[in-house]
Amino acid sequence: MNAGWRAFVTNDFCLAALSLFYVLACRSVVAQASSEIFDDQRSLLLWPFFIPPIAIGLLLALCFHTLVIERPAHPTRTIISRFAALRLPGHLVPGALGFFFIAPIIFYFGQMKSLMDYLAFCRWDETFRQIDLWLGAGNYPHTYFSWLVETRLRYEVLSAAYHPIWVSCCLALLAYALFVSPPGERRSIFLLSFASAWILIGTVVALALNSGGPVFFELYTGTNEYAALVEHLAELTNPNGLGSFLLAEKLAAFKKAGIAPPGFGISAMPSMHVSIACLTLLRAWHAGVWARTLASCYLLAIFVGSIVLGWHYAADGLVAIALTLFLWRIATSVVRMQRRILEPRLT
């Protein structure tokens, strides 16, 4: 067994097992529910589209690591040399295998998210609204941050941070862990935590605590408790801009039409945006003060943005952070145990 395969088996065996279990479980669910909603077999053709975003994420990750963390005298030369190093088996094989097992998790998460309305046995929107009022001491939490979306410019900047920038950071973080980080404990803890977050937080807990969020509150409950927030977001939205409310309108239209394109479901509790931002901070914690500070600001921006843009109740982000920290601790124990068991057998 060559070095790349040995590194993957030693560090990421549990990741592979978790991925296979999740994919088989999701395929069973999707096969039963997809006949009237979407064609699961046809949607498998979307797999190749994961590769270009990961490549872009890899470039962003290398640029960030070089310019913010290392800060060498010749950054361009350093980035090029790092790309060249990806051909080495010690980076390429574990990275490719990790991608092979993580990509289907994200893919089937999108399928399951589309089926949330059809699989959920209970909705918790009213309960989370009451929790919001308790957390805000009688006021909705978004009212404390309304100054962030007082103007269209602020609203579009926050929308950009919450959607395209979040996606870019997520891909960059994953690509960095897969192809840049050397095989080892920290890399494996992150990858196992990352995969577990999509499975436990994004699927299992999301089904158990299913809710639509403030911007969809009237759609699911018939009452307009968040009417002021929704009307304000609608006023700020430019049809040709980056407004977050444009996506909300599209999702609401899908819901009313009774269709669920893969990846376009509605699910608020817990917040995967906040969970991935929290993982970003955990991964950056040992990367230096600059990386730690930027990641902390990023987590704060995503958490506040999730509330003030109407996608989430405040409780959604708090639960996501607590569960992410729990998964990180569990992943740490699991990775150390698998290394202790498998490493002597493969050397």
User: In 34-175, which residue ranges form alpha helices assigned H by DSSP?
Assistant: 40-43, 51-64, 75-85, 89-114, 116-119, 125-135, 152-162, 164-175
For residue 39, the model assigns a pLDDT of: 46
- pTM value is 0.86
Range 106-124 burial, b when 16+ CB lie within 10 A, else e: bbbbbbbbbbbbeebeeeb
Query: Which CA distances in Å does 308 have to 159, 214, 235, 239?
Result: 10, 10, 14, 19
For residue 61, the model assigns a pLDDT of: 66
Q: Are 310 and 145 within 8 A, CB to CB?
A: no
Per the listing, tokens 């990509």 go with 103
Q: Are 11 and 187 within 8 A, CB to CB?
A: yes
- Alpha-carbon distance of 281 to 66, in angstroms, equals 18
> Which of 125-129, 132-136, 140-144, 341-345 has the least mean pLDDT?
341-345
* Higher-pLDDT residue of 116, 33: 116
Q: What is the pLDDT of residues 293-307, one digit of tens each?
A: 989 999 999 999 999
Model confidence at 263: pLDDT above 80: no
Model confidence at 100: pLDDT above 60: yes
For 213, the 3-state DSSP assignment is: coil
For residue 114, the model assigns a pLDDT of: 82
- Alpha-carbon distance of 260 to 120, in angstroms, equals 14
Q: What does the mean pLDDT of the chain come to?
A: 81
**What DSSP letter does each residue of 299-329 carry, written as one string?**
HHHHHHHHHHTTS--HHHHHHHHHHHHHHHH
* Higher-pLDDT residue of 239, 88: 239
- Alpha-carbon distance of 304 to 295, in angstroms, equals 14
3-class secondary structure per residue, 137-182 = CCCCHHHHHHHHHCCHHHHHHHHHHHCHHHHHHHHHHHHHHHHHCC
Structure token pair of residue 147: 């100054």
Average pLDDT of 113-128?
A: 83
Per the listing, tokens 């192809």 go with 179
Structure token pair of residue 100: 């092979």
Model confidence at 2: pLDDT above 60: no
Least Cα distance to 214 among 126, 317, 146, 151 occurs for 126
Least Cα distance to 22 among 278, 194, 175 occurs for 194
pLDDT band per the 50, 70, 90 thresholds, residue 122: confident
Q: What is the pLDDT of residues 167-176, one digit of tens each?
A: 888 888 888 8
* φ/ψ bin of 140: left (φ > 0), alpha (ψ from -120 to 50), beta (otherwise): beta
The one-letter amino acid code at 131 reads: I
For residue 152, the model assigns a pLDDT of: 85
Residues in the chain: 347
Please state the domain extents for the chain.
Answer: 3-32+60-346
Least Cα distance to 274 among 303, 298, 301 occurs for 303
Average pLDDT of 41-70?
A: 60
- Alpha-carbon distance of 248 to 324, in angstroms, equals 26
For residue 44, the model assigns a pLDDT of: 46
What's the first-to-final CA gap in the chain, in angstroms?
10
Q: What is the pLDDT of residues 318-345, one digit of tens each?
A: 999 999 999 999 999 988 887 777 666 6
Model confidence at 153: pLDDT above 80: yes
- Alpha-carbon distance of 73 to 81, in angstroms, equals 14
